[in-house]
Amino acid sequence: MFTRLDHLIVAVKDLEKAEDNYKKLFGIAPVWRGKHKDLGTRNSLFNFENIYLELLSTSGNGVGADLVNQHLLDSGEGLMGMVFATENLNSVRHSLKEEGFLLGESVSGQGINTSDQQIRKWNNLFLPYELTRGIFSFVIEHTDGNLPQSQELNDSSPHKLDHVVINTNDADGFIKIYKDTFNIRLALDKVIERWQKRMLFFRLNQTTIEVIEQEDDLPPGDQMWGLAWEIKDIEKAHERMTAEGIEVTPIQKGVKEKTLVATIKSHNHNVPTLLIQHLD
Protein backbone atom coordinates (compact mmCIF):
# COMPACT_ATOMS: atom_id res chain seq x y z
CA MET A 1 0.00 0.00 0.00
CA PHE A 2 2.74 2.48 0.98
CA THR A 3 6.16 2.69 -0.67
CA ARG A 4 7.84 4.51 2.19
CA LEU A 5 7.53 6.77 5.19
CA ASP A 6 7.77 9.98 3.19
CA HIS A 7 8.31 12.70 5.78
CA LEU A 8 7.71 13.83 9.33
CA ILE A 9 6.29 17.21 10.33
CA VAL A 10 7.51 19.36 13.21
CA ALA A 11 5.30 22.30 14.19
CA VAL A 12 7.29 25.40 15.18
CA LYS A 13 6.42 28.93 16.22
CA ASP A 14 9.34 30.76 14.58
CA LEU A 15 10.48 29.12 11.33
CA GLU A 16 13.71 31.11 11.02
CA LYS A 17 14.78 30.23 14.56
CA ALA A 18 13.87 26.57 14.11
CA GLU A 19 15.69 26.38 10.80
CA ASP A 20 18.82 27.89 12.31
CA ASN A 21 18.72 25.44 15.23
CA TYR A 22 18.28 22.43 12.98
CA LYS A 23 21.05 23.63 10.66
CA LYS A 24 23.34 23.50 13.68
CA LEU A 25 21.95 20.17 14.83
CA PHE A 26 22.18 18.47 11.42
CA GLY A 27 25.24 20.30 10.11
CA ILE A 28 23.46 20.91 6.79
CA ALA A 29 21.22 23.54 5.27
CA PRO A 30 17.62 22.89 4.23
CA VAL A 31 17.14 21.91 0.58
CA TRP A 32 13.77 23.65 0.26
CA ARG A 33 11.99 26.68 1.69
CA GLY A 34 8.44 27.13 0.57
CA LYS A 35 4.95 28.48 1.17
CA HIS A 36 1.48 26.99 0.91
CA LYS A 37 -0.59 30.11 0.18
CA ASP A 38 -3.96 28.36 0.29
CA LEU A 39 -3.10 26.63 3.59
CA GLY A 40 -1.57 29.62 5.36
CA THR A 41 1.70 27.82 6.12
CA ARG A 42 5.35 27.88 5.15
CA ASN A 43 8.07 25.29 5.61
CA SER A 44 11.72 24.38 5.60
CA LEU A 45 12.75 20.90 4.45
CA PHE A 46 15.84 18.86 5.36
CA ASN A 47 16.38 15.85 3.08
CA PHE A 48 18.07 12.58 4.06
CA GLU A 49 18.66 9.19 2.45
CA ASN A 50 15.33 7.67 3.43
CA ILE A 51 13.09 10.53 4.53
CA TYR A 52 12.78 14.29 4.83
CA LEU A 53 11.95 16.41 7.85
CA GLU A 54 9.54 19.32 7.48
CA LEU A 55 9.61 22.29 9.84
CA LEU A 56 6.17 23.87 9.53
CA SER A 57 4.89 27.23 10.75
CA THR A 58 2.02 29.57 9.99
CA SER A 59 2.17 32.44 7.49
CA GLY A 60 -1.45 33.50 7.25
CA ASN A 61 -4.93 32.04 7.37
CA GLY A 62 -6.05 28.63 6.17
CA VAL A 63 -6.73 25.08 7.24
CA GLY A 64 -3.00 24.36 7.52
CA ALA A 65 -2.45 27.35 9.78
CA ASP A 66 -5.41 26.24 11.89
CA LEU A 67 -3.85 22.78 12.33
CA VAL A 68 -0.46 24.20 13.31
CA ASN A 69 -1.95 26.73 15.71
CA GLN A 70 -4.10 24.06 17.35
CA HIS A 71 -1.09 21.79 17.80
CA LEU A 72 0.96 24.62 19.29
CA LEU A 73 -1.91 25.45 21.63
CA ASP A 74 -2.47 21.85 22.73
CA SER A 75 1.08 20.51 22.82
CA GLY A 76 3.54 23.28 22.03
CA GLU A 77 6.26 22.83 19.45
CA GLY A 78 7.19 19.31 18.42
CA LEU A 79 6.31 16.35 16.25
CA MET A 80 2.98 17.01 14.61
CA GLY A 81 2.50 14.52 11.80
CA MET A 82 3.58 11.47 9.85
CA VAL A 83 3.17 11.13 6.08
CA PHE A 84 3.19 7.95 3.99
CA ALA A 85 4.01 7.87 0.27
CA THR A 86 2.35 5.88 -2.48
CA GLU A 87 2.68 5.62 -6.23
CA ASN A 88 -1.07 5.14 -6.67
CA LEU A 89 -3.25 7.25 -4.40
CA ASN A 90 -6.47 6.10 -6.06
CA SER A 91 -5.60 2.49 -5.27
CA VAL A 92 -4.97 3.35 -1.62
CA ARG A 93 -8.25 5.22 -1.40
CA HIS A 94 -10.14 2.33 -3.02
CA SER A 95 -8.56 -0.25 -0.69
CA LEU A 96 -9.39 1.74 2.44
CA LYS A 97 -12.95 2.40 1.28
CA GLU A 98 -13.35 -1.32 0.61
CA GLU A 99 -12.50 -1.90 4.27
CA GLY A 100 -15.28 0.45 5.30
CA PHE A 101 -13.36 3.60 6.19
CA LEU A 102 -14.94 6.96 5.37
CA LEU A 103 -12.57 9.03 3.24
CA GLY A 104 -12.79 12.40 1.57
CA GLU A 105 -11.53 13.17 -1.91
CA SER A 106 -7.82 13.57 -2.52
CA VAL A 107 -6.50 17.14 -2.47
CA SER A 108 -3.90 18.53 -4.86
CA GLY A 109 -1.04 20.64 -3.57
CA GLN A 110 1.85 22.70 -4.87
CA GLY A 111 5.05 24.04 -3.35
CA ILE A 112 7.41 26.69 -4.71
CA ASN A 113 11.00 26.84 -3.53
CA THR A 114 11.58 30.48 -2.60
CA SER A 115 15.30 30.28 -3.43
CA ASP A 116 15.01 29.22 -7.09
CA GLN A 117 11.25 29.12 -7.84
CA GLN A 118 11.31 25.38 -8.53
CA ILE A 119 7.86 23.78 -8.29
CA ARG A 120 6.78 20.48 -6.79
CA LYS A 121 3.24 19.07 -7.05
CA TRP A 122 1.44 16.29 -5.20
CA ASN A 123 -1.89 14.82 -4.22
CA ASN A 124 -2.81 14.14 -0.59
CA LEU A 125 -5.33 11.81 1.01
CA PHE A 126 -6.04 12.72 4.62
CA LEU A 127 -6.72 9.74 6.86
CA PRO A 128 -9.73 9.52 9.21
CA TYR A 129 -9.41 9.38 12.99
CA GLU A 130 -10.14 5.63 12.98
CA LEU A 131 -6.75 5.18 11.31
CA THR A 132 -4.75 8.06 12.78
CA ARG A 133 -5.90 7.68 16.41
CA GLY A 134 -4.55 11.09 17.33
CA ILE A 135 -1.57 11.36 14.97
CA PHE A 136 -2.09 13.81 12.11
CA SER A 137 -1.45 11.55 9.10
CA PHE A 138 -2.00 11.54 5.38
CA VAL A 139 -0.89 9.73 2.24
CA ILE A 140 0.98 11.59 -0.48
CA GLU A 141 1.56 10.87 -4.15
CA HIS A 142 4.24 13.10 -5.65
CA THR A 143 3.27 13.98 -9.21
CA ASP A 144 5.74 16.58 -10.48
CA GLY A 145 9.18 17.85 -9.50
CA ASN A 146 11.71 16.46 -7.07
CA LEU A 147 13.08 17.46 -3.71
CA PRO A 148 16.81 18.25 -4.11
CA GLN A 149 19.31 16.00 -2.38
CA SER A 150 21.50 17.55 0.28
CA GLN A 151 25.05 18.03 -0.97
CA GLU A 152 26.46 18.71 2.50
CA LEU A 153 26.01 15.36 4.25
CA ASN A 154 29.19 14.22 5.97
CA ASP A 155 30.20 11.77 8.69
CA SER A 156 29.11 14.19 11.43
CA SER A 157 25.65 14.77 9.92
CA PRO A 158 22.70 12.40 10.22
CA HIS A 159 22.41 10.56 6.92
CA LYS A 160 19.16 8.70 7.57
CA LEU A 161 16.36 8.33 10.08
CA ASP A 162 16.96 5.21 12.16
CA HIS A 163 13.56 5.19 13.84
CA VAL A 164 10.60 7.25 14.96
CA VAL A 165 9.13 6.51 18.40
CA ILE A 166 5.38 6.42 18.97
CA ASN A 167 3.60 5.90 22.29
CA THR A 168 0.34 3.95 22.36
CA ASN A 169 -2.05 2.63 24.99
CA ASP A 170 -3.35 -0.06 22.64
CA ALA A 171 -0.67 -2.16 20.93
CA ASP A 172 -3.15 -4.69 19.53
CA GLY A 173 -5.18 -1.92 17.92
CA PHE A 174 -2.01 -0.38 16.50
CA ILE A 175 -1.08 -3.71 14.91
CA LYS A 176 -4.55 -4.04 13.41
CA ILE A 177 -4.11 -0.71 11.61
CA TYR A 178 -0.43 -0.65 10.67
CA LYS A 179 0.01 -4.35 9.88
CA ASP A 180 -3.42 -5.54 8.80
CA THR A 181 -4.73 -2.37 7.10
CA PHE A 182 -1.57 -0.53 6.01
CA ASN A 183 0.38 -3.76 5.26
CA ILE A 184 3.53 -2.47 6.96
CA ARG A 185 5.81 -5.30 8.07
CA LEU A 186 5.74 -6.06 11.79
CA ALA A 187 9.33 -7.04 12.58
CA LEU A 188 9.15 -7.29 16.38
CA ASP A 189 6.50 -7.74 19.06
CA LYS A 190 7.83 -8.44 22.54
CA VAL A 191 7.71 -7.35 26.16
CA ILE A 192 10.92 -5.67 27.33
CA GLU A 193 11.41 -7.07 30.81
CA ARG A 194 13.58 -4.25 32.15
CA TRP A 195 10.84 -1.72 31.28
CA GLN A 196 7.84 -4.03 31.70
CA LYS A 197 6.45 -2.56 28.50
CA ARG A 198 5.45 -4.06 25.18
CA MET A 199 7.46 -2.91 22.15
CA LEU A 200 6.61 -3.15 18.46
CA PHE A 201 8.91 -2.58 15.48
CA PHE A 202 7.42 -1.88 12.05
CA ARG A 203 9.80 -1.60 9.09
CA LEU A 204 9.28 0.56 6.01
CA ASN A 205 11.93 1.85 3.56
CA GLN A 206 14.91 1.31 5.91
CA THR A 207 13.05 3.13 8.67
CA THR A 208 11.69 1.64 11.87
CA ILE A 209 8.45 2.76 13.48
CA GLU A 210 9.10 1.90 17.12
CA VAL A 211 5.97 1.67 19.24
CA ILE A 212 5.98 1.61 23.04
CA GLU A 213 2.80 0.55 24.81
CA GLN A 214 1.86 2.41 27.99
CA GLU A 215 -1.47 1.06 29.14
CA ASP A 216 -4.05 3.36 30.75
CA ASP A 217 -7.83 3.72 31.04
CA LEU A 218 -8.18 6.24 28.22
CA PRO A 219 -9.72 5.48 24.81
CA PRO A 220 -7.28 3.92 22.30
CA GLY A 221 -4.85 6.52 21.02
CA ASP A 222 -1.32 7.11 19.76
CA GLN A 223 1.16 9.95 20.10
CA MET A 224 4.39 10.71 18.30
CA TRP A 225 7.27 11.04 20.73
CA GLY A 226 10.82 11.23 19.35
CA LEU A 227 13.35 10.58 16.59
CA ALA A 228 16.62 8.66 16.34
CA TRP A 229 19.06 9.72 13.62
CA GLU A 230 21.79 7.43 12.31
CA ILE A 231 25.29 8.92 12.35
CA LYS A 232 28.38 7.50 10.66
CA ASP A 233 30.79 9.02 13.20
CA ILE A 234 29.14 9.93 16.49
CA GLU A 235 32.35 11.34 17.97
CA LYS A 236 32.68 13.84 15.12
CA ALA A 237 28.99 14.68 15.46
CA HIS A 238 29.34 15.19 19.22
CA GLU A 239 32.34 17.46 18.73
CA ARG A 240 30.64 19.51 16.02
CA MET A 241 27.40 19.94 17.95
CA THR A 242 29.16 20.87 21.16
CA ALA A 243 31.12 23.53 19.27
CA GLU A 244 27.77 24.88 17.99
CA GLY A 245 26.54 25.28 21.56
CA ILE A 246 24.19 22.29 21.43
CA GLU A 247 23.76 20.38 24.67
CA VAL A 248 24.55 16.70 24.04
CA THR A 249 24.88 13.91 26.59
CA PRO A 250 28.15 11.94 26.72
CA ILE A 251 28.44 9.10 24.20
CA GLN A 252 27.60 5.70 25.65
CA LYS A 253 26.78 2.16 24.57
CA GLY A 254 23.24 1.77 23.31
CA VAL A 255 20.62 -0.71 24.46
CA LYS A 256 21.05 -2.50 21.14
CA GLU A 257 24.33 -4.38 20.82
CA LYS A 258 27.12 -2.76 18.82
CA THR A 259 25.69 0.74 18.95
CA LEU A 260 26.82 4.03 20.40
CA VAL A 261 24.28 6.71 21.33
CA ALA A 262 24.02 10.28 22.56
CA THR A 263 20.95 12.37 23.33
CA ILE A 264 20.34 15.92 22.05
CA LYS A 265 19.13 18.09 24.94
CA SER A 266 18.71 21.46 23.20
CA HIS A 267 17.95 23.08 19.82
CA ASN A 268 15.39 20.35 18.97
CA HIS A 269 12.15 22.30 19.52
CA ASN A 270 10.65 19.77 21.88
CA VAL A 271 11.46 16.72 19.74
CA PRO A 272 13.29 14.11 21.86
CA THR A 273 16.30 13.35 19.67
CA LEU A 274 18.80 10.50 19.77
CA LEU A 275 21.98 10.04 17.74
CA ILE A 276 22.95 6.45 17.02
CA GLN A 277 25.99 4.89 15.36
CA HIS A 278 25.88 1.24 14.36
CA LEU A 279 29.31 -0.33 14.82
CA ASP A 280 30.67 -2.94 12.42
Q: For the segment 174-186, what is each residue's pLDDT rounded down to a tens digit?
A: 999 999 999 999 9
Residue-range domain boundaries for the chain? 4-144
Please name the fold of domain 4-144.
2,3-Dihydroxybiphenyl 1,2-Dioxygenase; domain 1 (3.10.180)
Cα(33)–Cα(142) distance, rounded to whole angstroms? 17
CA atoms within 13 A on the CB side of 221: 9
% of the chain residues with pLDDT over 70: 100
> For position 195, what pLDDT does the model report?
79
Burial code (b: 16+ CB inside 10 Å, e: under 16) for 115-135 equals eeeeebebbebebeeebbbeb
pLDDT digits (tens, 9 = 90+) for 237-274: 999 999 999 999 999 999 889 999 999 999 999 999 99
Assign 115 a pLDDT band (cuts: 50, 70, 90): confident
Query: Per-residue pLDDT averaged across 121-139, rounded?
Result: 96
